[in-house]
Amino acid sequence: MSDRYEEKLTFYGGLTTIGGVHIMYSCGDTGIVFDLGMARGFFNGDTRVRSDYGIRSFLLTRMAPPVLDLYDPELLGDLGEAELKQVWGREQLEQVTNLHGFVSHIHQDHMALLPSLRPNLPVWMHRDAYAVYEAIVAAGEYEDTRADIRIIEDGQIVDYGPFRIEFIEVDHDSPGVTGFIIHGPEHRIAFTADWRRHGRNHHRLDRFIERCQTVGVDVLITEGTRMRPDTLFRKPKDRLEVQVAVECRLAMEQTDGLVYVNILARNVERVADLIMKTQEAGRELVMDESTAVLWFEASDKLQVLSGHPALEAGRHVIRLLRTPVWSQGPRPAKNVKLPYAPITVNEITANKSQYAVYLIYPLTALIAELETKGSQAAASIYVHADGNPLTSADETLLKWLNEFGVQYRYCATGGHAAPQEITELTTAIAPGLVIPLHSNHPTLFNSGGVRKYYPAPGESFKVSELVGNKTTV
């Protein structure tokens, strides 16, 4: 085959980290980069840069793929290929002239580079994923993008240069999460995106497997978030997604005190469940302004919530608490007229049994006022259901709860498959080669006899050589 139609895979990020997957598939001068997020690395809540103007720092710390045509030239300034070759220790970095991007879903580690992309860069994204992105921009969590967002639907096939991309929705804890199969001139490459089997739409993975079996996959790229030594021999037991909101309701029924709920607001389907369970428990759900804007802006546009009773119930169940002036938490970037009745701290504490407080991590300090005012006869309960911080051992959060005698309930379920389920998916698809990533421990992967490979950062392969290399393990 001529070089014009030679298929290549280049691996940059997410190879030994959870998140920050950066891969470029190219064929001649045409290519697509997936995903466009960042893993946790050199920045945290105290050491940080803006998500748009910080692209130079992201590139120089290998938190963004060194594909220069992705980014807004105004943000790059004088940063060029010479500096990036030095940072990556490579004599050559793969570049293409006809470039597209792809975002599988709206979690930070898959979409955080969107504000830094160059104007008019074509970026493919599921309709529901884009609705969530627009909502987090309105809520003030991220800047908007200048890229040309190309909306896709489940099952859609896009012809793109010498290859076609077949988009397939899977199940994760965020709306619109989408994997794909790339149909190249000679090879088929499948990417699962993030996925799980314990969600409400686990059947989508069966369809993904069936499509891969039908077309025949040469290379399967799958996430492996939960591959750890403690899950190697025993499959973990997962709480079902539909059970999370049920446990929130149980907490509301078991105390006359306040119930705090911490859910990642981008999991809009779970928020819809929470609204309904709050109504069933006879309480109202107090939201800060940013969270209320995110819910309002996303819920009305999401296909997956079309006709959901929470759309109407939310107008009566949600109460709006103005963000305190002392808070450094997110504030809406868009002036949205919200249909929710306002409420004050004094009104909440005057009748604690009537309210559940959606308490995002940056507003944890509200606990001090909410717990010291009003009746303290009944203990409050804090339900932590996959909201930030993403751990049950956060020292700061636990210190606040212990200080005021608030009961802590960890009610996580997460969005990732058990290692044994990844093995089952791999053996069912039976690709020529599997590449596990999005994992701290990819080498623990049991591929069920399918050949596997662990790319090094910056490695580039001709797909024909990668598939034909019998030295892979």
Describe the crossing of helices 289-299 and 127-138 by its angle, rounded to 10 degrees.
150
Predicted confidence at residue 288, as pLDDT, reads 96
- Looking at 3.60.20.40, 3.60.15.10, 1.10.3720.10, 3.20.20.70, the CATH number of the domain 3-231+416-468 comes to 3.60.15.10
Closest CA to 437 of 227, 216, 256: 227
Predicted confidence at residue 234, as pLDDT, reads 85
| Residues in Cβ contact with 103 at an 8 Å cutoff, skipping those fewer than 6 apart | 34, 35, 36, 37, 110, 111, 114, 123, 124, 125, 129, 133
**What SS3 class is residue 146?**
coil
Distance, in Å, from the CA atom of 96 to the CA atom of 121, rounded to the nearest integer, reads 13
Predicted confidence at residue 438, as pLDDT, reads 95
Sign of CA dihedral 467, 102, 291, 398: positive
Distance, in Å, from the CA atom of 58 to the CA atom of 64, rounded to the nearest integer, reads 5
Neighbours of 127 (CB within 10 A): 18
Each residue's pLDDT tens digit in the chain (473 positions)?
456 679 999 999 999 999 899 999 999 999 999 999 998 788 777 778 888 889 999 999 999 999 999 999 999 999 999 999 999 999 888 889 999 999 999 999 999 999 999 999 999 999 999 999 999 999 999 999 999 999 999 999 999 889 999 999 999 999 999 999 999 999 999 999 999 999 999 999 999 999 999 999 999 999 999 999 988 888 888 899 999 999 999 999 999 999 999 999 999 999 999 999 999 999 999 999 999 999 999 998 999 999 999 999 999 999 999 988 888 788 898 899 999 999 999 999 999 999 999 999 999 999 999 999 999 999 999 999 999 988 888 999 999 999 999 999 999 898 899 999 999 999 999 999 999 999 999 999 999 999 999 999 999 999 999 988 755 66
Residue ranges of the chain that CATH labels 3.60.15.10: 3-231+416-468
Predicted confidence at residue 328, as pLDDT, reads 79
Which CATH number applies to 241-410? 3.40.50.10710
Task: Please give the angle made by the CA atoms of 17, 179 and 457, to the nearest 5 degrees.
Answer: 30
Residue ranges of the chain that CATH labels 3.40.50.10710: 241-410
Distance, in Å, from the CA atom of 9 to the CA atom of 147, rounded to the nearest integer, reads 23
